[in-house]
Structure 1
Amino acid sequence: MSERGAARVLGVGGKEMALDWFAFFCANLQTGFGPFVAVYLTAEKWTQTDIGIVLMIGGLVGLACQVPGGLLVDRARSKPLVAGIAVAAIGAAALLVALGSTYALILFAWVLHASATCLLTPSITSVSLDLVGHDRIGVRLGRNATFASIGNALAAAAMGGFGSYFSNQAVFFVTAALAIPTITALFFLRSTRTDAPARSRAPIVVRTTEHEESASWRTLLGNRQLLVLAVATGLFTLANASMLPLVGSVLTLRAASAPTVLIAACIVVPQIMVAVASPFVGKLTQTWGRRPLLIIGLAALPLRGFAFGFITDPYLFVPVQMLDGISASVIGVLVPLVAADATRKHGGYALAQGIIGTAMGVGAAFSPTIAGWLTDNLGSTTAFEGLGLIAVVALVVAIAFMPESREDGQSARASAAS
């Protein structure tokens, strides 16, 4: 290998390591805006209605910003810069939450976080694509998911400790501080575009003009792969979003001695599986293709729902929850990967993710209402089975209509590139 070639490989390898850390710290940063917000606001004497309204408004803003956020990332000259701005905004939102608990301040912080997340998520995958190219993006996305899962688990444990030993407010000071190492990791990715052409035979669209943007819209809205995936993942999220909260409610009623431990186990076990399985999923996308893995990931959800409906022993909920790890590993890699396949020739990668994200956001928005109505009127067993049936519909849509999106010869090129 020539000296210039060796330098390029080392340069890309160093940036891939920086991207590992960036994915890790982004997950750290986002963990602070999980259940810790509800705990903090409850301790500050907020009513559940007020908390619910703030969370709902944040969810609606996030839903509305999916497509505009994707368009903005596609048109950006520097995607790492967009990611850095999003990270800074999320850190600022955490600091606002830590400094006060007034309604206006918390609402503004939550809207700021939701808006910034719509930029951060497509920025991470776009930077990944620019760095390694289309032929290796599957493996790279699996690596991202692994480091993000590890980051989620470690951050949840650390923030839980800070909340217990100091205060619930301390969680958000820690979250704000995590923006610093996140941006530091991003600093080493600031010039990823210069290596992209060497890593893929397909041209990578760095900036989208207005003409290209219009073409991307037309192309994406007519892309069968993308639309079927959006429908399937939207239905998947409609069934999945409320399943774990419903498990938490059931365990609270059935396991009076240790519900918190069992609920924590139901959260941690899938995260461990995602961390372990995601790299293998990324590699299998190059050999098996996308469609078989997508079907496996979707099929795990109805099995999980029906199993929850039938079992009565609360301790059996934990091993069944391992199926969530399978689904999360596959969906987390396949959604951005199929989006990359769909936009390989025409661009609009972040926009494609915004379209899929909107479908999933709609599913997540309606899922609690459906699960709550089924539980209140027909019982938790019927609720699990109803969610399982919705998941079956998602699976049928994928089996019947989802084509294979991997190009012929892509597996060989990926092996050569690695």
Structure 2
Amino acid sequence: MGGTRRSQRGLDWLNFFVADVQTGFGPFVAVYLASQAWTEVQIGFALSLGTLTAMLSQMPAGAIVDAARDKRRMAFLALVALAFSAVLLAAWPSTLPVYASEMLHGFASCVLNPSIAAISLALVGREALGERLGRNARFASLGGAIAAGLMGLVGTYLSPAAVFWMTAALTIPSLISLSRIRGEELRPVQATQMAGHGDARREGSIRDLLADRGILIFAGCAALFTLSNAAMLPLAGAAVTQRAGDEANLIIAACLVVPQLVVAAISPLVGRAAQQYGRRLVLIVGFSMLPVRGVLLAMVEEPAALIMVQALDGISAATLNVMLPLLAADLTRGTNRFNLCIGFFGLAVGIGGTISTTLGGAVAAWSSSADAFLMLGGIGLLCLILAWAAMPETRDQLPKDMALAQ
């Protein structure tokens, strides 16, 4: 694997602390706003506004990261923006500041995630990218698990707003970790994508992306994945808040920690399995957890059972976390549009997430939470069917010498 030990460790800890920061913007937002007397519909709209901003920003942000020569600077600016959005949410939990915070978070995340992916690719090259992505996911999951536990305690015994002050503070070690990645060790991403393809120096374009069957099918899978998945834990969190009161933050923290530990445990296995058995099989196994989880969430009410069901989220999350950038690298081989492709997949994720929280909240309000979970599980089944029936195998497109090297 490329890069010195210092840069590799810097990237490890960057993923760890970035996950800490992002954890603060997860289901804790729903719990925090519920404690401020926001209704389910208002909470769903605020969360959807953030994902709508992310949806509109994904491809422009990916193109910006592709064009930027210094990927570390892009990550730095995104982290500063995330810190500001956390402060805004903690200090002013009224309508306009919350909306502004969600929008700023949505845009900054669109810049940060592809920046880290680009740094990873530039540091290790295409040949070692799968292993590096598994390592990224492991450290991110450990960071998210620890942060969720700490934030649950802080939210329970201090105040819900303290979660977001802690989130802002965690950007400091993120920036320190970023500074430890040596710029001179980062190869141009275009060069890593062109390796072994000296006669195929294509710029790539949105039209090229839309003409690629594999890209379109996986984008559809990604949209259905988040349409099914995004609303599940917020809906469960809202129900737990009503039943558990002050203990809700601890239960939500456990629902975050357990799947994160699963992701940390299996992410390297996901990367290895994708290389050994193919991308398509890994997608099918990971996506099969969505309908199962939807049915189980509709049946359980006890907090302990809810936490156990959430372990299934770790399997599907590990699959998407590793496979999305890996498939983007596969499908943009020979071009300089790695981050644009990630942005396109992110757009699909944003569309699904934008609809999911509003749709799930509406079904829960009009019918019941159980019906909402069954509906979300049914969408997950569609995602599984699409991956099984139509997704091409991209591993076999690797040059033989590269496949052997991996």
CA deviation after TM superposition for structure 1 residue 383, in Å: 3.3
Structure 2 match to 1:385: 374
Residues 1:12 and 2:19 are matched in the alignment: no
- 1:31 pairs, out of 23, 32, 35, with 23
Q: Is the 8 A contact 2:41 2:361 kept in 1?
A: no
Distance of 1:109 and 1:256 partners within structure 2: 26
Structure 1 match to 2:53: 61
Aligned amino acid, residue 26 of structure 1: V
Structure 2 match to 1:186: 178
**Alignment deviations for residues 358-378 of structure 1 (CA, whole Å, 9 cap, x no partner):** 111111122234334544555
**Alignment deviations for residues 157-204 of structure 1 (CA, whole Å, 9 cap, x no partner):** 22333344544444333322222211111112241654569x968439
Unaligned runs of 5+ in 1: 1-7
Q: Normalising by structure 2, what TM-score?
A: 0.86
CA deviation after TM superposition for structure 1 residue 39, in Å: 4.7
**Alignment deviations for residues 80-133 of structure 1 (CA, whole Å, 9 cap, x no partner):** 111111111112222334454555444433322221111001111111111111
Q: Is the 8 A contact 2:155 2:249 kept in 1?
A: no
SS at match of 1:137: helix
Distance of 1:17 and 1:46 partners within structure 2: 42
CA deviation after TM superposition for structure 1 residue 12, in Å: 3.1
Distance 1:239 1:185, change over 3 A: same
Q: Is the 8 A contact 1:309 1:382 kept in 2?
A: yes
Q: Is the 8 A contact 1:339 1:353 kept in 2?
A: yes
| % identical aligned pairs | 43
Which structure is larger by alpha-carbon Rg, 1 or 2? Answer: 1
Q: Is the 8 A contact 1:228 1:402 kept in 2?
A: yes
- 1:279 pairs, out of 268, 272, 277, with 268
Structure 2 match to 1:5: none
Distance of 1:52 and 1:390 partners within structure 2: 19
Distance of 1:408 and 1:372 partners within structure 2: 42
Distance of 2:248 and 2:85 partners within structure 1: 32
Aligned amino acid, residue 271 of structure 1: Q
Distance 1:77 1:337, change over 3 A: same
Structure 2 match to 1:229: 218
Distance of 1:204 and 1:41 partners within structure 2: 52
Distance of 1:250 and 1:128 partners within structure 2: 39
CA deviation after TM superposition for structure 1 residue 344, in Å: 1.5
Residues 1:81 and 2:70 are matched in the alignment: no
Q: Is the 8 A contact 2:259 2:310 kept in 1?
A: yes
CA deviation after TM superposition for structure 1 residue 294, in Å: 0.6
Distance of 1:262 and 1:160 partners within structure 2: 8
**Alignment deviations for residues 281-305 of structure 1 (CA, whole Å, 9 cap, x no partner):** 1122221121110111111111222
Unaligned runs of 5+ in 2: none
Q: Is the 8 A contact 2:87 2:168 kept in 1?
A: yes
Distance 1:174 1:339, change over 3 A: same
Structure 2 match to 1:4: none
- 1:146 pairs, out of 121, 133, 138, with 138
SS at match of 2:288: helix
Distance 1:401 1:56, change over 3 A: closer
Q: Normalising by structure 1, what TM-score?
A: 0.84
Structure 2 match to 1:406: 395
Structure 2 match to 1:360: 349
Distance 1:181 1:373, change over 3 A: closer
Residues 1:121 and 2:110 are matched in the alignment: no
Distance of 1:311 and 1:162 partners within structure 2: 27
Q: Mapping of 1:10-409 within 5 angstroms? A: 11-40=3-32, 53-101=45-93, 103-191=95-183, 194-195=186-187, 202-203=194-195, 212=203, 215-248=204-237, 263-309=252-298, 315-376=304-365, 379-407=368-396
The CA RMSD measured in Å over matched residues stands at 3.3
CA deviation after TM superposition for structure 1 residue 381, in Å: 4.0
Distance 1:274 1:57, change over 3 A: same
SS at match of 1:346: coil
Q: Is the 8 A contact 2:17 2:174 kept in 1?
A: yes
Distance of 1:255 and 1:109 partners within structure 2: 27
